[in-house]
Chains A and B, each alone.
Chain A
Amino acid sequence: MSYMLNPGAQSESNIEVHRYYSGTVLLTAFLALVLQAFLHKYGRWSELVDLPLLVTVYFGLSRRNPVTGMFLGAAVGILQDALSHDNPIGLYGIAKTLVGYLASTIGARIDTQHPVSRLALIFLFFHFHQMVFAITQRVLLNHPEPFFTLRLLLNSVVTAAFGVALFALLDRLRKS
């Protein structure tokens, strides 16, 4: 198994599909949502990291099944909307559905085990998620949600860095 980001170097059939113990995916996603909501009470620093996004990206890249990644993203996003104070249901759901689908699709084509590639992918997925979220806000809610700010850039960097570490921890939950 290569740890390098090497698109096209390996065929899709040669990319390993990781398996997890039963309930691991759901439990991890549930914990991410609970922690995100729980930590939010202790300050805005918790907004620096988007745990549900990290979980969606991780399992999307690992399972490498677009349908599974899509439904996981949809479920995580809808629950995140449900736990938020004033977000209508579906706002995060749409963004994370697309992120889950995209992550699974990319994960099925390239090897994403290397920390650098993971850092880059998390960074890119963060901004893709923000872009979809902003478009949805602008189109449906008429809210001028920004596509890019310095704070969003900081959040994306922190989330990416934290995600590399988190992904290493989650790798231990595989059946191998």
Chain B
Amino acid sequence: MIDTAFRQRPVFLLAAVVLVQVLLLAFQIKRDHDVRLIRYWAQAIVMPFERGGTDAVKNTGGFWSNYISLRGARAENARLRAELDQLRLQNRELAAQAGEAQRLSAILNFREAHPEAQMLAAQVISASADPTSHTLVLNRGDHDHVRRNMAVITPDGIVGKIVEVLPTTSQVLLINDKDSGAGALLADTRTHGVIKGSGDPDARLDYVINEEPVHPGELVLTSGEDRIFPKDLLIGTVSMANQGNPFQVIHVKPAARLDRLEDVIILLTPQELKKQDSAGAPGASPNSLGIVQQESEPPKPLVAPATGKPAAPNAAQPAAKAPAAAPPATTPAQPANSAPQN
């Protein structure tokens, strides 16, 4: 019966029988890691199809995500770029506002720390078109009771003086202008001199004799002799001091950032500002408002270059301390009006 059934196809039957036995062997044989050979074969047979299916799904998904889903990417990109630009602009505005708030806060603190002084806050609206002239234009003028020779300062240090007053604006001559000048003194030795502009970013301290010890980093303060700037306001620090003939050549780096001023204070009166307590630093040091607290008297009396006599270290006698050969520091200040503080 079986013979009859399979007589026509013995070769195929042979293959089937052999295949069955091969599979039988594969079920019994274990290869590496105790895995049956039939599993290896099953994996070898199935994996190409699974891998192909996986790749097909992946490629299809990739096509979908890379092409179809990105149809709106251009518009989204443009929208995000616009949003980014807007946020950058807002960020710059906020940074500017923060900086302005910081400056105004410092000015406010300064005003609160010196209620005895009449002062007026002002904004810098322009600068001189002449590159050799160091002047600024403020948004305060005659209508705000601003007058010539009023001191302009910042919490960091002095800026200059009012040289021209218009109804709503005024012009400030910076201390580093070549036509500028103010009474000054070295904080450590209380040696007096005259701070003058040279047209460079740094100012010069003139009329300090060669025998006076001056070292870079030393603070330079207003002496109050010019009757424009109150006494002991910070001007800057000595950046260079060399021997000269007959006086030392001293360069002073202004404490106020004269090249980036935005908000300033106009002192309506040349009244001396009260000194604020400094936290225990020896010697002269500026406080946060630029007012220098002097802890001790200078180690030796001042010597007037012209006379060679010790000058009285009395700030109330500016004429005695100023060098005899020195020209007037500034034009004598006109009596300031007792204008109301804005």
B21 and A67 form a contact (CB under 8 A):
no
A115-144 Cβ-contact flags toward B at 8 Å (1 or 0) = 000000000000000000000100011100
Within the complex, the shortest CB–CB distance from A20 to chain B, in Å, comes to 14
Contact (A140, B24) CB under 8 Å given A68-B3, A70-B17, A98-B18: no
Chain B interface, number of residues (Cβ within 8 angstroms): 18
| Among candidates A70, A91, A93, A141, residue contacting B10 with C-beta atoms closer than 8 Å | A70
Contact B13 A94 (CB under 8 A): no
Bitwise, A33-71 to B at CB < 8 A (1) or not (0) is: 000000000000000000000000000000001111011
Q: Is the CB of B25 within 8 A of A89?
A: yes
Query: CA of A78 to CA of B28 in the docked complex: distance in angstroms?
Result: 13
Please determine whether B25 and A140 come into contact, CB atoms closer than 8 angstroms: yes
Contact A97 B10 (CB under 8 A): no
Please state if B25 and A90 are interface contacts (CB–CB under 8 Å). yes
> Considering the chains assembled together, what is the distance between the CA atoms of A101 and B18 in angstroms?
11
Bits for A138-153, please: 1 = Cβ < 8 Å to B, else 0.
Answer: 0011100000000000
Most buried by B among A65, A90, A94, A98: A90
| Cβ-based interface call for A74 (8 A) | yes
Q: Choose among A70, A71, A89 the residue that contacts B24 (Cβ–Cβ < 8 A).
A: A89
Main secondary structure of the interface of B (DSSP, over half): helix
Q: How far is the CB of A88 from chain B (nearest CB, A)?
A: 4
Interface size class of chain A, counting residues whose CB lies under 8 Å from the partner chain: 20 to 34
- Name the residue in B3, B18, B22, B37 with the highest tally of chain A Cβ atoms < 10 Å from its Cβ: B18
The smallest C-beta distance from B35 to any residue of chain A, in angstroms, reads 13
Give Cα A91–Cα B26 distance, bound, in whole angstroms.
10
Q: Quick one: given A66-B10, A68-B3, A140-B22, are A88 and B17 in contact (CB under 8 Å)? A: no
Contact across chains for B14 and A89 when beta carbons are under 8 A apart: no
Do residues A88 and B3 form an inter-chain contact, with CB atoms below 8 A? no
With A65-B3, A74-B17, A140-B37: A90-B10 Cβ-Cβ less than 8 Å: no
Taking a contact as CB atoms under 8 Å apart, the answer to whether B10 and A88 are in contact is: no
Which residues of B approach A to under 8 Å, CB–CB? Answer: 2-3, 6-7, 10, 13-14, 17-18, 21-22, 24-26, 28-29, 31, 37
Which A residues fall within an 8 A CB radius of B?
65-68, 70-71, 74, 77-78, 88-91, 93-94, 97-98, 101, 136, 140-142
21 contacts between A and B (CB under 8 A): A66-B10, A67-B2, A67-B10, A67-B13, A70-B14, A71-B17, A77-B21, A78-B21, A88-B28, A89-B24, A89-B25, A89-B28, A90-B22, A90-B25, A93-B21, A94-B21, A97-B18, A136-B25, A140-B25, A140-B29, A142-B31
